[in-house]
Amino acid sequence: MTEPKKTIPQQGDRGGDQNGARGSGRDTAEPLLKVTGLVKHFPITKGVLKRKVGAVQAVDGLSFDVRPGETLGVVGESGCGKSTMGRLITRLLEPTGGKVEFEGRDITHLSAGAMRPMRRDVQMIFQDPYGSLNPRHTIGGIVGTPFKLQGIEPEGGVKKEVQRLLELVGLSPEHYNRYPHEFSGGQRQRIGIARALALNPKLVVADEPVSALDVSIQAQVVNLLDDLQDELGLTYVIIAHDLSVIRHVSDRIAVMYLGKIVELADRTSLYESPKHPYTKALLSAVPVPDPSRRGGKSDRILLKGDVPSPISPPSGCRFHTRCWKATEVCRTTEPPLIQLAPGHQAACHHPENAPDQAPGAGGAGARETVELAEAKGSTKAEGAKETTEAKASKETEASNGGSGGE
């Protein structure tokens, strides 16, 4: 079975102005979602008495807004807390601390019963289009489930509405009685999207919505999400580890490292003038799609070492063990996330593109943590990417019996 034919978007080709805001007055609009000091620590217990011996600090003090109609992209290495954040804001997980407000209402500790009406407004799309669809249910049953759960009878009946949704996501209404195994990965993700849209939500949180798909299919699904946003006025939080996908879909981008947001800015500012060294390193490792620019010298920053364990994160700035600019203050004092330019926040004592960043200033002693690679061609670029996307310590899951997957 092949994907329906749609225009495949090109890298960097996206509707809307270059500052990332497609709706007028979005900056001044009341946030749809407001997150303040959000914390999730998973306890680590020992023995039959389940004595608490520590905690995985998966998310540790996130604050951000999501404005109506925008797409906030969330990016960071594996294990930095992206999925945990997504589950906290959709209230699939109970926060340890902080506050989540949706349309001005505090939903941080709402019970499952009190959350039920809110579930219509806040929906999630998962990474795995295979695991997230029940293989024993027909497509009609899967996409129609939200109506049953909410006790809603759409005008014209559930079947008609489900068929409309299937068409909306580029599938045929005739797929109603088929089963998930009859569909390709891309089509399954379309089914997951149709299910998420069934109740006409305001906010859709998509956790790695395309990372399980072939690159060509990824573009089609990204394009579909984009079209649906324009058509239905949706607001998205899109989580991804791939900076090319994030660049394509996002109006604003939050960069996470070890449970914290280290930089938050509109897309253009972030890509053209990153302020946090970690963002700079991530961006330097993105392969250049333009063949005419390949082969030239480029300063690729290869971060050495793995992401430290979130059980005992480094003191001060959590990035100091891998940062080439680290000084004493970085090791002792945590830098707050502050505004360094209009709409551009970063958490760094020695930000990039700042007055104290003359060549040679600060952190020379830490340079051995980094290599500036004069990499040539895409092969080396991929290698660089792999290095920066080093896996977070898996000991946390082993010791806790927890799972970071879906």
Ligand X SMILES: Nc1ncnc2c1ncn2[C@@H]1O[C@H](COP(=O)(O)OP(=O)(O)OP(=O)(O)O)[C@@H](O)[C@H]1O
Binding-site ranges for ligand SF4 (CB under 6 A) = 276-277, 317, 319-320, 323, 325-326, 330, 335, 348-350
C-beta closer to ligand X: residue 189 or 269: 189
Q: Does 398 bind ligand X (CB under 6 A)?
A: no
Q: Does residue 29 contact residue 67 with C-beta atoms inside 8 Å?
A: yes
Going by C-alpha positions, the residue among 77, 76, 105, 75 that lies closest to residue 91 is 105
Q: Does 255 bind ligand X (CB under 6 A)?
A: no
C-beta closer to Mg ion: residue 209 or 351: 209
Q: Which of 67, 195, 241, 280 binds ligand X (CB under 6 A)?
A: 241
Q: In a 3-state reduction of DSSP, which class is residue 3? A: coil
Q: Does residue 354 contact residue 275 with C-beta atoms inside 8 Å?
A: yes
In whole angstroms, give the CA distance from residue 230 to residue 70: 10
Spatial neighbors of 335 by CB under 8 A, at least 6 apart, are 316, 317, 347, 348, 349
In whole angstroms, give the CA distance from residue 56 to residue 84: 11
In whole angstroms, give the CA distance from residue 356 to residue 363: 12
Q: Does residue 366 contact residue 329 with C-beta atoms inside 8 Å?
A: no
In whole angstroms, give the CA distance from residue 250 to residue 21: 9
Question: In the stretch 310-349, what mask flags binding to ligand X with x, by CB under 6 A?
Answer: x---------------------------------------
Question: In the stretch 272-311, what mask flags binding to ligand X with x, by CB under 6 A?
Answer: --------------------------------------x-
Lookup result for tokens 């497609």: 22
Q: Does 126 bind ligand X (CB under 6 A)?
A: no
Q: Which of 237, 243, 285, 392 binds ligand X (CB under 6 A)?
A: 392
C-beta closer to Mg ion: residue 171 or 240: 240
CB of 209 to ligand X, least distance (A): 12
Q: Does 242 bind ligand X (CB under 6 A)?
A: no
CB of 389 to ligand X, least distance (A): 9
Lookup result for tokens 């997230």: 132
CB of 20 to ligand SF4, least distance (A): 24
Paired residues of 24 in beta bridges: none
CB of 330 to ligand SF4, least distance (A): 3
Residues near Mg ion (CB under 5 A) are 83
Find which of ligand SF4, ligand X, Mg ion, none residue 349 binds, CB within 5 to 8 Å per kind.
ligand SF4
C-beta closer to ligand SF4: residue 14 or 276: 276
C-beta closer to ligand X: residue 20 or 86: 86
Find which of Mg ion, ligand X, ligand SF4, none residue 310 binds, CB within 5 to 8 Å per kind.
ligand X
C-beta closer to Mg ion: residue 132 or 163: 132
What letter represents residue 81's amino acid?
A: G
Going by C-alpha positions, the residue among 72, 69, 97, 70 that lies closest to residue 82 is 72
Q: Does 404 bind ligand X (CB under 6 A)?
A: yes
CB of 320 to Mg ion, least distance (A): 24
Spatial neighbors of 299 by CB under 8 A, at least 6 apart, are 284, 372, 373, 374
Q: Does residue 155 contact residue 187 with C-beta atoms inside 8 Å?
A: no
Q: In a 3-state reduction of DSSP, which class is residue 272? A: helix
C-beta closer to ligand SF4: residue 149 or 361: 361
Please state, as a whole number, how many other Cβ atoms lie within 10 Å of the Cβ of residue 88: 25
Q: Which of 73, 79, 185, 308 binds ligand X (CB under 6 A)?
A: 79
C-beta closer to ligand X: residue 55 or 366: 55
Alpha helices in 200-342 (DSSP H): 215-232, 243-249, 267-272, 277-284, 328-332
Q: Which two tokens stand for residue 48?
A: 């039959």
Residues lying near ligand X in the complex (CB under 6 A):
42, 56, 58, 76, 78-84, 241, 310, 392, 396-397, 400, 402-404
